[in-house]
Amino acid sequence: MAEAAAVIGLVASIASLVELTAKVVSRLHEFTSESLEVPESFRSPSTRLPLLTATLQHIQSQAEDGHFPDDITKALKAVVEDTSKQVSDIQISLAKVLPSDGASKLERALKALKSLAKEDKVQRALEKIHENNNILVLYQTKRHVDTADRILQALSKLSVTPLTLLCPSSTIPFARDPDFVDRGAIFNQLLQKYALPASRTALMGLGGVGKSQLAIEFGYRTREQSPRTWVFWVHAGCMARLEQSFRDIANCVELPGRQDPKANVFRLVNDWLRGRKNGQ
């Protein structure tokens, strides 16, 4: 079992990171609730970081109960500290691009333009956070660490990449609307079309009638009813945002080669989507 000092160090690091994460998410929520100018990569932390917090709290509980040996406790602390550095980088970037309370429309517009130069840095930090979270999830879902180690050893002998162990998730960049009004007839039509092989459905209507809210709610319900199904959100307003959405998918499923600046992210994602082993 881990020494008390090692456990205290890990718990303290987790508490510090949870507090920092809450500040970043709160700041993002304040801004995005008032503006649509913030780039997609700056919206992602508000949906991804709460998942990290849940993982950290579970790790903390297991550490306090003495489930980790000393060497693993110290290793997890290193992962938490590196994650904290990545969240700090995002916080610094946000401070430089998000306008202050009461900022004029011109100031907001200028900040929005400035944010484009910070997108790559935020994206790299998110990728590293995602990798670290996968490490933490691996240990927090296994009561005995040696069990996880044996799994990794077996995978290496079978030449199976960790990618196949990824649990299906969602890239919907918006929170669920608690005030959503259920429209049963429309949802029934969506469900019927969704059940058909390779089905496609278009939502059409005037602006403001609720097309996006319907799509968002449908995505969340799909995840609830079928946890083994991936749900990907692609913004196709322009080519730049379309490509960024595909990069978000590539990062979500940890596609090899996605960080190569010459890589064709559309081809990478297309090839992955066609793989039967990757699920629905």
Tokens, residue 185? 């007839």
Contacts by residues 38-41 (CB-CB < 8 Å, ≥ 24 positions apart): 38/98, 38/112, 38/115, 39/112, 39/115, 39/116, 39/119, 39/244, 40/173, 40/235, 40/241, 40/244, 40/245, 40/248, 41/119, 41/122, 41/123, 41/126, 41/244
Q: How far apart are CA 47 and CA 259, in angstroms?
A: 22
In a domain, 172, yes or no: no
* Structural domain that includes position 52: 4-159
Residues 244 and 141 in one domain: no
Q: What is this structure's pTM?
A: 0.47
User: How many domains are there within the chain?
Assistant: 2
- 198 vs 8, which has greater pLDDT? 8
**Does the residue 175 lie in any domain?**
no
Residues 150 and 36 in one domain: yes
| Residue 15 and residue 91 share a domain | yes
pLDDT of residue 111: 54
Same domain, 29 and 132: yes
108 with 216, same domain? no
* 97 located within any domain: yes
Q: How confident is the model at residue 33 (pLDDT cuts 50, 70, 90)?
A: low
Residue-level pLDDT at 277: 79
Residue 143 and residue 262 in one domain: no
Q: What percent of the chain has pLDDT over 70?
A: 73
Task: State whether 13 and 101 are in the same domain.
Answer: yes
Same-domain check for residues 149 and 20: yes
Quote the CA–CA distance of 24 and 43 in Å, as a whole number.
11
pLDDT at 143: 46
Residue 42: partners with Cβ closer than 8 Å, 6 or more residues away: 28, 94, 97, 98, 115, 119, 122
Query: pLDDT, tens digit, for every residue of 61-87?
Result: 878 877 777 777 888 888 899 899 988
On whether both 206 and 136 belong to a single domain, the answer is no
Question: Are 106 and 234 part of one and the same domain?
Answer: no
Task: Tell me, yes or no, whether 147 lies in a domain.
Answer: yes
Per-residue model confidence (pLDDT) at position 108: 54
Any domain includes 178: no
Q: Poorest-confidence range of 100-114, 153-167, 245-259? A: 153-167
Indicate whether 127 belongs to any domain: yes
Residue that is last in its domain, among 91, 124, 159: 159
Q: How confident is the model at residue 256 (pLDDT cuts 50, 70, 90)?
A: confident
Quick check: 116 pLDDT over 90? no
Q: Is residue 166 assigned to a domain?
A: no
Query: Is position 30 within any domain?
Result: yes
Banded pLDDT at 113 (limits 50, 70, 90): very low
**Whether residues 44 and 105 fall in one domain:** yes
Q: Are residues 22 and 73 in the same domain?
A: yes
- Render pLDDT for 138-171 as a digit per residue (tens, 0 to 9): 665 544 445 445 545 554 554 444 444 467 888 8
pLDDT score for 104: 58
Higher pLDDT, 221 or 113: 221
